Amino acid sequence: MSGEALTLGALRRMAAKRLSAVFGSEGTPALDSRLLIAAVLDIEPNRLSLFDYRAVSGAERTRIEDYLDRRIAGEPVARIIGTREFWGLPIGLSAATLVPRPDTEILVEAVLAWFDRHGGRERVRRVVDLGTGSGAILLALASALPEITALGIDLSEEAVRTARDNAERLGLADRCLFVRGDWSQAAAGADIVVSNPPYIQSGVMPGLPREVRDYDPSLALDGGADGLDAYRAILADLRRILVPGGALFLEIGFDQDKAVSGLVEAEGFATTLHRDLAGWNRVVEAERISRGSAASLLGRA
């Protein structure tokens, strides 16, 4: 695309054509090109067409071409621009965090529905997110639930830093604490525990789509030989960290509903399944029936 000066509209159409030639019907060339160009020019994507007759500088064009080259090489758009919208919030990403997916919003919806059934969204509650990554789930909940205090735990220090940065930028750092830890070791006394843990079987990892295999962190994907290692680790300590009357919400793989529900029910919890946008069971909700007062959110370090 280098050469004579271009208007933004012409460059946007050329970029979409270039991406379409690579990805065909499997891609979203118009959307991808709009998002990439908008990120370079710091313009809201839905307003980009208003600037179609704006001239593009040589430096801007070079950076846009770099973004297009990265996209053609298979890098996801969200990785290139460094953010992804989740629950209406701009979530910053890093190499140590997953790109939040729309299906994960089902977990947020399930938690909010639990609050609606148990005293409303203004109730003071303590929420713990195990394997928090970018903090997307916890920050979405904090944005919708004004009285919760929240703790996010992740094994990756880089992920913890990313989540803290997101909390600061979104003005939620006063209610959201992020710490490095191995699953639930740093938590106790939670009313709600949420997690989108690694659940891909180790043997399946090499066959994942390139955008996932090459760009998502394996630590956040690999769930062991049967994909259930993280669930076992969470459930092993659940009764200590979850208060009586509290609830657990787990995202699961599309074919893991029976396996994960079985593990949860074996611990004496009643389960409910929530379907994703494609109709697969995507979230296991588990409620601890007896009620009691919450202990301190932070337990042993």
Q: Which domains does the chain have, with CATH numbers?
A: 8-81 (1.10.8.10), 84-287 (3.40.50.150)
pLDDT at 127 over 50: yes
Strand 176-180, strand 149-154: pairing: parallel
Rounded to whole angstroms, how far apart are CA atoms 109 and 197? 18
**283 close to 266: Cβ distance less than 8 angstroms:** no
The residues, any chain, with a CB within 8 Å of residue 231's CB and separated by 6 or more, are: 197, 199, 223, 250, 260, 263, 264
Its pTM stands at: 0.91
Among 258, 257, 265, which Cα is nearest to 235's?
265
Give tens-digit pLDDT for 130-149: 999 999 999 999 999 999 99
pLDDT in tens, 175-207: 999 999 998 777 889 999 999 999 999 999 999
Whether the CB-CB separation of 173 and 188 falls below 8 Å is answered with: no
